[in-house]
């Protein structure tokens, strides 16, 4: 279903409008989750100036020598009639784009560490570990956006969870 994510990605980033057969353009839906048929639940957000205390592994080691400029983290659920998932998104901003690229290159390697997601208890959920098997990252200037998803209820498949992360990296960073 990567093509769906690609369509959503392209339209979300470029503000593309769809032109119908009659030549009229239709605005993109305001709900980024509409094409996946899911509803987003309550969002919890935290902003920090330092990334090191909110990271672990080699990712933490890198952030100790190449500090981020700011960190925003969000946690929310998405659901449909068949399944629900918890999604973690982190916006890791650097002063230089090359630092962001270096961070992303390490972050994208499974097992090298991560930005610690917000506690699931903020949403009234048990502590569900994020395993980074359903993961997407994106580079936006000097900011790396990292999204992970884990099942909460029902039987969401890996493809569905991956699709959620592909859309999640496109949502706007929450205001500070």
In 3D, which of 148, 67, 149, 50 has the Cα closest to residue 103? 67
Find out whether 78 and 164 touch, Cβ atoms under 8 Å.
yes
Question: Is residue 147 over pLDDT 70?
Answer: yes
Secondary structure (3-state) at 167: helix
DSSP class per residue in 54-73: GEEHHHHHHHHHS--SEEEE
Q: What are phi and psi of 112, to 5 degrees?
A: -95, 0
Interaxial angle between packed helices 57-65 and 97-107, expressed in degrees from 0 to 180 and rounded to the nearest 10:
160
Residue 31: CB atoms within 10 A of its CB come to 11
> Furthest-apart CA pair in the chain: how many Å?
56
> Which sequence spans correspond to the domains of the chain?
37-168
In 3D, which of 63, 58, 42 has the Cα closest to residue 118? 42
Cα angle 123, 76, 175; round to 5: 110
Task: Name the average pLDDT for the chain.
Answer: 87
Q: Looking at residue 80, what DSSP letter applies?
A: -
Write out pLDDT tens, residues 38-73. 999 999 999 999 999 999 999 999 999 999 999 999
Q: Which residues contact 69 (CB under 8 A, 6 or more apart)?
A: 93, 94, 95, 142
pLDDT (0 to 100) of residue 36 = 92
Question: Is residue 7 over pLDDT 60?
Answer: no
pLDDT (0 to 100) of residue 25 = 44
Secondary structure (3-state) at 116: coil
Write out pLDDT tens, residues 71-119. 999 999 999 999 999 999 999 999 999 999 999 999 999 999 999 999 9
Question: Is residue 15 over pLDDT 60?
Answer: no
Distance CA 49, CA 67 (A): 10
Find out whether 115 and 75 touch, Cβ atoms under 8 Å.
no
pLDDT (0 to 100) of residue 111 = 95
């Amino acid at each position: 279903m990567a093509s769906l994510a690609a369509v959503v990605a392209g339209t979300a980033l470029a503000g593309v409008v769809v032109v119908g057969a009659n030549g009229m353009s239709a605005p993109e839906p305001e709900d980024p989750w509409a094409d996946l048929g899911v509803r987003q639940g309550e969002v919890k957000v935290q902003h920090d100036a330092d990334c090191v205390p909110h990271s672990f592994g080699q990712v933490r080691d890198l952030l100790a020598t190449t500090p981020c400029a700011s960190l925003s983290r969000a946690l929310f659920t998405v659901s449909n009639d068949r399944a629900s998932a918890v999604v973690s998104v982190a916006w890791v901003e650097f002063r230089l784009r090359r630092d962001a690229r270096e961070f992303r290159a390490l972050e994208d390697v499974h097992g090298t560490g991560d930005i610690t997601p917000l506690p699931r208890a903020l949403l009234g959920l048990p502590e569900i570990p994020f395993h980074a098997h359903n993961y997407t990252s994106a580079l936006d200037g000097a900011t790396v956006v990292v999204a992970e998803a884990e099942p909460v209820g029902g039987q969401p498949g890996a493809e569905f969870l991956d699709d959620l992360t592909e859309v999640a990296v496109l949502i706007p960073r929450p205001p500070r």
